Structure 1
Amino acid sequence: MSPEPRRWTFGLTPLRVAALIVLALFAALTFTVLLTNEATFVYTLDDPYIHLALAENLVRGSYGINLGEVSSPSSSIVYPFLVALGLLAGLGDWTPLALNFVALLGVLVTAERVARRALAPHLDRPELPAAAVATIALLASNGLGVAFTGMEHLLHVWVTLLVFLGLLSVESGERTPAWLVVVIALAPASRYEALALTAASVLLLWLSDRRAAILAAVGGALLLGAHAVWMLAMGLPALPSSVLRKLPIAQGIASLRPASGDHVTSWLHGLLRALGNPTVGPLVLVAALCVLATLLPGPRRPASRLAIWILGIVLAQVAFGRFSGYPRYETYAVAVLILATLLVFAPQFAALWKARPAVTSLLLLLAVAAPSWRNLTATWAIPAASSDIYSQQYQLHRFLTEFHREAVAVNDLGWASYRNDAYVLDLWGLGSEAARSAWAAPDPAAALDALVQARQVPLAAVYEPWIAVARPRHWIPIGSMELKFPITVVEGHQITFFATDPARCEEMWRRVAAFAQVRLPPRTAVGISDPTLCTAAARR
């Protein structure tokens, strides 16, 4: 066992100091976001408002974006329910931030435990370097940045590190802790991507404790099976629309049929895009180096099989996961890989730390910062990213709830649906299974327009390039909302308003024109089209 952590002045330990540093950064960033957005807290992505909208209806007894219409837009089984609990507790819009703050501290504490365990055989007092490594791992993986997205990714990171900690104890010759079996089984509830974590962990556990491996595998299968049965019972696919929309090859799995050639082609295109992401190369390279280092002659170490476990998780993320412009999908892989690198090279790190602690800290910072520059810049860009959402998506929400107050079609679901009781048709298909299926129709434009007409949706507010190939020709552009550059996270600088019914075109135009007269943030500009477009359309 490692020695008790050294007590500092006022009873502070290195871990508590690290937690205070993280808390100070968290508070400073929260204040900066409020300052940037005219005292309104807004997340750095529009996606958490999908969770909030879903949770809002869960509280009312309905599972879906629109009250009374079932849909499954979340890539997490458990997160919408956690958000719903926060809403019931009165936390409101702050619920995702509160959940992420808890997960942030959980990641820090678990990372410190892993680092301390890795260094304990080589250092008499590993608590200071362990706290330093944990803090660096948190920041270099964009843990702070992910917290302000309001999404479930940080929960996924925490679950991954807990499994890593448990497997490290098993690989060190200790008895399998019961909590490890539970966490491995429940991991996919955090995000479906964690299915790779469960599979790899069951395989590794099988080598040392077959009973525990079987229990974890059966538990995970029961969890996913029960959720799939529930989805099917509601008339939805076994997998959520978000997974099916973003990973086409999963459509074959959800339909219990082999993936089609188109699905495989789409997957290959996604794989090529992933390989072009600047994070992928360093991830795979470092994971492979860790495996090679453990194969060198010498006694078997706990890191030997864990390095292969981590390489498998990284490769699964590259092959079947996602990488986006704002780094969040790969955060768990970056965090666990930093700690795995410490585990593999713990003797060398400890020797250098004993000789020159300050130099070791500096070298560690430089080594981690070089391949993690995107994550570090993403943390720095939190206020700018939040400003994007406030200046565009939040203003769209204002228009829909204060001026339109009627059904609308969108292709970027989030603020458009949260705290909006009017019907919202998600043309992209995350919040509407019918819309997702329409994209596979021979004529997507006709299929989507049929949905719009069936739901009597008089207005569409969309990123026009997103649906250019599927936009019905009779939709009339009546205005736009433009976000001034530079853009950090939103998918497009302009939302275009379309009247979908020529008979109501002038009415929709007047609503956009009225919105153009209100006070808007400095980065937001609303323009209106020539009203004669409506007159001409009505005559046709």
Structure 2
Amino acid sequence: MKKLIKKHWPIFIALVVLLISLVSLLLLSLHKTQGKLIYTLDDAYIHMSMAKNLSKYGIYGITQYEFTSSSSSPLWTITIAAVYFIFGIHESVPFIINSALSVILLIVIYGILKSSSLGNFLVFVMLIIAIYFTPLLALIFTGMEHVLHILLCFIFIWVIAALMLEENERKAQKNSLLLFFLTIFIAMTRFESYAIILSGCILLLLKRKWKLTILIAIAGILPLVIYQMISVHHGWPILPNSILIRSQIYKYELFNSQQVMVINTAKYGLRVFFANLIFNFFTAQHLSLLVLLAILLLIVLLWISRPKWTKFIVVLVFFVITGSLHLQFGKIGHFYRYEAYLIPVGLIANLFGGIEIYKLKKKILRNKTISIILLMGLLYFMSFGLTALVSRGYNAFVQIPLASKNIYEQQYQMALFLREFYPQATVALNDIGAISFLTDVRLVDLVGLASNDVFKSRLEGSYKKDKIEEICRRNGVDIAILYDVWFYFEDIGGIPESWVMVGNWTISDNVVCGSSKVSFYAVKAEEKENLLKNLKLFANRLPPTVKQSGAYLELKN
């Protein structure tokens, strides 16, 4: 064992660092959440709720009552459901899975770096950077699919590189089969994976591997087509509502019918083509400067010589293509997660590119123009790109306990309130995760993630406060728990006049919730007195850091 540790000390120490950091953050979070394991995003509970309903009732939906196309990561939802089915439903499952996947991810990265003949110290530094710059710890605490996505991404890249360089036909066949299934899994994990799959296809085409390219394209499209067939069969759109809502396609009056969705989505893509690229470039310098540096290294390599394909070059080209596609079409942020899969890949790709550059240092030094451009590019990245990465990593680390506290004080308390006082009610909400997981209420999701009539209304451009009132009346909504401020955007016009506000909860130090203040409304007139009484009864159970206001506080005990 001692010999093994001595030989592979970088990965052992990196895993110890990960464990110490993870336990420290967990203890800090538990201290702020009165001993409850709370995820840093309400979205995690959406997966957990769908997994609960799938494992218990065989229903792929936010509630046990109907199918909903609400998860943008079917593989993650199914994985949690499988664990629930075998071991039982528990809130810690996503945390445990993510922790285990993080260990596997670091081992995979270690294997990639060691197979590239890098020194132990450099390998160790890259592993520590992967932990804090990704940021891996923040992704674990989200309870979502991003660690799995990064792991699959690294394996996908390395298999692509092996296939491009493999001359042994038998090994190539095995890797082709592995790549086929990897493509299916990665497509089911996140929709950003289509940038990864497209990059892989482009690389294979450059090596004229036509059959393999077609095979991978089919593997990527297959899960999407199957999902679309299931979703449309249940009367839902061809893509998960979470994807369509967050892309804000509905703002552009695109959908007149299901049949023109693809065409109109393409029009939307053209409309915001450059706007999205420019926005992402300046708001995500930690990624955009990594991509620019990789492009610079690739240009220098092509200028100085015509390098043969190596695993280093494959990874570099892969990152340039995928990173550029994400900056153009993808989203950035939302607790450091949307672009997280590209950060460790980008850092390693640039390291590999730097090694290839170093091999050509004599040729480069003879060319003053190239030398100056390369030096300026490196200095610019060190000044701005590295600063952005360090700042992002630090902010992610310190915000984890705060984010857990936010969810605990708001969404988790809302769920506890409903579970006790409205277990069989129908409730209108705009944050549905923790509530759907911890309760069995019927819900109307006023964002449209889990309510198709709301989503269709948004697509039609008819989503106003009168429409909200009609939808809630039709569904028999008793009370509503909302972010008021959300309903003054998108020309909705505010909250229906017939609804009566009876109280507010406000949290402090908000870093992840949609608003610091959540409001309680009696939707049915006869529910007002009951809601006042119930809020009063629950008031003393709220964490003391939650500021309460409203008519219910005036009631006598």
Q: TM-score, normalised by structure 1?
A: 0.87
1:437 is displaced (CA, Å) by 1.7
Match of 1:235 in 2: 235
Note if 1:52 corresponds to 2:48.
yes
Quick one: distance in 1 between partners of 2:512 and 2:44?
Answer: 14
Match of 2:392 in 1: 374
Question: Unmatched 5+ residue regions in structure 1?
Answer: 353-363, 533-540
- The within-5 A match list for 1:88-487 is 88=85, 89-90=87-88, 92-118=90-116, 120=117, 126-173=119-166, 176=172, 177-178=175-176, 179-208=178-207, 209-249=209-249, 255-257=259-261, 258-259=263-264, 273-279=279-285, 280-298=287-305, 299-302=307-310, 303-346=312-355, 369-372=386-389, 373-405=391-423, 406-440=425-459, 441-468=461-488, 469-470=491-492, 471-484=495-508, 486-487=509-510
1:512 is displaced (CA, Å) by 2.0
Are the aligned partners of 2:297 and 2:357 in contact in 1 as well (CA < 8 Å)? no
Q: Deviations over 1:322-378 (max 9, x none)?
A: 1135211010011110010111112567999xxxxxxxxxxx999975231213321
Quick one: distance in 2 between partners of 1:263 and 1:386?
Answer: 35
Q: Which moved more, 1:459-468 or 1:262-271?
A: 262-271
Q: Secondary structure at the match of 1:296?
A: helix
Are the aligned partners of 1:425 and 1:431 in contact in 2 as well (CA < 8 Å)? yes
Higher helix share: 2
The 3 A distance-change label for structure 1 pair 467 and 267 is farther
Match of 2:31 in 1: 35
Quick one: distance in 1 between partners of 2:487 and 2:522?
Answer: 15
Match of 2:78 in 1: 81
Quick one: distance in 1 between partners of 2:383 and 2:333?
Answer: 24
1:453 is displaced (CA, Å) by 0.7
The 3 A distance-change label for structure 1 pair 6 and 255 is farther
2:551 to 526, 529, 535: 529
Quick one: distance in 1 between partners of 2:26 and 2:109?
Answer: 24
Quick one: distance in 1 between partners of 2:271 and 2:477?
Answer: 34
Are the aligned partners of 2:532 and 2:552 in contact in 1 as well (CA < 8 Å)? no
Are the aligned partners of 1:294 and 1:304 in contact in 2 as well (CA < 8 Å)? no
Q: Secondary structure at the match of 1:498?
A: strand
- One-letter code of the match for 2:500? I
Are the aligned partners of 2:313 and 2:352 in contact in 1 as well (CA < 8 Å)? no
Quick one: distance in 2 between partners of 1:292 and 1:403?
Answer: 64
The 3 A distance-change label for structure 1 pair 305 and 165 is closer
Q: Secondary structure at the match of 2:439?
A: coil
Q: Deviations over 1:207-226 (max 9, x none)?
A: 33333222211122222211
Q: Which moved more, 1:295-304 or 1:222-231?
A: 295-304
Q: Secondary structure at the match of 2:436?
A: coil
Q: Secondary structure at the match of 1:490?
A: coil
Quick one: distance in 2 between partners of 1:307 and 1:207?
Answer: 14
Q: Percent identity?
A: 25
Quick one: distance in 2 between partners of 1:446 and 1:34?
Answer: 42
Over the residues paired in the alignment, what is the CA RMSD in angstroms? Answer: 2.9
The 3 A distance-change label for structure 1 pair 349 and 37 is farther
Are the aligned partners of 1:271 and 1:318 in contact in 2 as well (CA < 8 Å)? yes
1:292 is displaced (CA, Å) by 2.2
- One-letter code of the match for 1:453? R
Quick one: distance in 2 between partners of 1:266 and 1:531?
Answer: 48
Q: Deviations over 1:270-292 (max 9, x none)?
A: 55543441435424323322332
Match of 1:494 in 2: 517
1:513 is displaced (CA, Å) by 2.4
Are the aligned partners of 2:141 and 2:400 in contact in 1 as well (CA < 8 Å)? yes
The 3 A distance-change label for structure 1 pair 270 and 392 is farther
Are the aligned partners of 1:107 and 1:138 in contact in 2 as well (CA < 8 Å)? no
Q: Give aligned pairs, total.
A: 510
1:117 is displaced (CA, Å) by 3.2
Quick one: distance in 1 between partners of 2:194 and 2:268?
Answer: 24
- One-letter code of the match for 1:520? L
1:168 is displaced (CA, Å) by 2.7
1:144 is displaced (CA, Å) by 1.2
The 3 A distance-change label for structure 1 pair 187 and 293 is farther
1:171 is displaced (CA, Å) by 4.1
Quick one: distance in 1 between partners of 2:214 and 2:538?
Answer: 59
- One-letter code of the match for 2:81? A
1:62 to 59, 64, 79: 59
Quick one: distance in 2 between partners of 1:256 and 1:418?
Answer: 35
Q: Deviations over 1:393-415 (max 9, x none)?
A: 11111111112332211111211
Q: Secondary structure at the match of 1:72?
A: coil
Quick one: distance in 1 between partners of 2:300 and 2:88?
Answer: 51
Q: Which moved more, 1:503-512 or 1:37-46?
A: 503-512
Q: Deviations over 1:250-271 (max 9, x none)?
A: 9769744421767765777655
Are the aligned partners of 1:111 and 1:339 in contact in 2 as well (CA < 8 Å)? no
Are the aligned partners of 1:463 and 1:492 in contact in 2 as well (CA < 8 Å)? yes
Q: Which moved more, 1:447-456 or 1:282-291?
A: 282-291
1:113 is displaced (CA, Å) by 2.3
Quick one: distance in 2 between partners of 1:531 and 1:474?
Answer: 22
Quick one: distance in 2 between partners of 1:75 and 1:293?
Answer: 39
1:520 to 514, 525, 542: 542
The 3 A distance-change label for structure 1 pair 490 and 270 is farther
Question: Unmatched 5+ residue regions in structure 2?
Answer: 362-380
Match of 1:356 in 2: none
1:91 is displaced (CA, Å) by 5.5
1:306 is displaced (CA, Å) by 3.9
Q: Deviations over 1:79-128 (max 9, x none)?
A: 1111112222136101111221122122212222222233x2xx5xx344
Note if 1:509 corresponds to 2:520.
no
